[in-house]
Amino acid sequence: MPQIIDGKALAESIRKETAAGVEELQRISGTRPCLAAVLVGDDPASHIYVRSKIKACEQVGIESESHILAATTGESELLKLIRRLNESSRVHGILLQLPLPNQIDKIKALDSISPAKDVDGLHPSNVGKLVQGRARLIACTPLGCIEALKRYDVPLTGRRVVVVGRSDLVGKPLALLLMHENATVTICHSRTRELPSVVSEADVVVAAMGKPALITPEFIREGAVIVDVGISVLKSEQEVAAIFGADSKKVEDFRAGKNVLVGDVHPSCYLKSSAYTPVPGGIGPLTIAMLLRNTLRAAQEESKV
């Protein structure tokens, strides 16, 4: 039977380590890490994400600030707030929740965050250092993927890894991290020819396209490790039945009004794998855990601890 890579359990371990690090930093330097979360607009999902991140901060002893701005907020007003947070000695990490309203240039806003406080690892300076293998703050989801593979003793040196997806947030930084672990990395995307054939050569498959159940068993070689970054909420009973089966509990859940989630990997792929990250409960919990660890790291760097 394939091994389940339990992201929830891993995230709990990392949170405990982070809480211990927060306590140690306070003891040595008197500094308590602080994360400032900035949200523009009324997107319900974004508000849920920010609340969950703030709650996670509280659980490990990290202080937090929430800055909720109206959907009509102009770009100059947002940049002014970010400048103030950059200059604040209390704030060690700045999280700018995406998406942003159309009137705000996302790149300009992200670039305005101090690289030393860029806990999402998206500033060009941090991305450049990642290319060189000397980054301090790295995008949280790719970092969570690497952490999961390492803690489950999945060998990477010399292994063939295929990353399906080339986003700035996941695919590209993850490919760099994997190369630094001496893996042989192929990045696939929507224009890749013969995608199933390319992916089926991988020892480790990372799916990060945001397309429900895109990866089917023909993509997976026997014994491969599957890392599923995608997560989608299915919108119809037909979709649920097509993926999980007409008689499955997932269909019952959907009829009961519950959200039914699926990753980029079809669940039927799991039996061909040697290990896999489930959806939910795989990479998702690790993303927030890495955000907390990045905030602690930023505070340690400022305190030179």
Q: Domain residues of the chain, as ranges? A: 29-116, 142-283
Quote the distance between the C-alpha of residue 283 and its chain's center: 7
Thinking of the domain 142-283, which architecture would CATH place it in?
Answer: 3-Layer(aba) Sandwich (3.40)
| CA 103 – CA 72 distance, rounded (Å) | 8
**Identified catalytic residue from 3, 6, 16, 97:** 97
| CA nearest to 288, candidates 82, 18, 65 | 18
Q: Domain 29-116 adopts which CATH fold?
A: Rossmann fold (3.40.50)
Length of the chain: 305
Those residues whose C-beta lies under 8 Å from the C-beta of residue 71, and which sit 6 or more positions away, are 40, 41, 42, 101
Q: Is 53 considered catalytic here?
A: yes
Quote the distance between the C-alpha of residue 167 and its chain's center: 12
What is the structure's pLDDT at 170? Answer: 97
| CA 40 – CA 289 distance, rounded (Å) | 23
Which portions of the chain are predicted below pLDDT 70?
A: 305
**Identified catalytic residue from 8, 26, 42, 53:** 53
Q: What percent of the chain has pLDDT over 90?
A: 97
CB 91 within 8 A of CB 81: no
**Identified catalytic residue from 118, 120, 228, 264:** 120
- Provide the terminal-to-terminal Cα distance of the chain, rounded to the nearest Å: 44
What is the structure's pLDDT at 304? Answer: 80
Q: Is 97 considered catalytic here?
A: yes
What is the structure's pLDDT at 232? Answer: 94
The chain-wide mean pLDDT, for the chain, equals 96
What is the structure's pLDDT at 181? Answer: 98
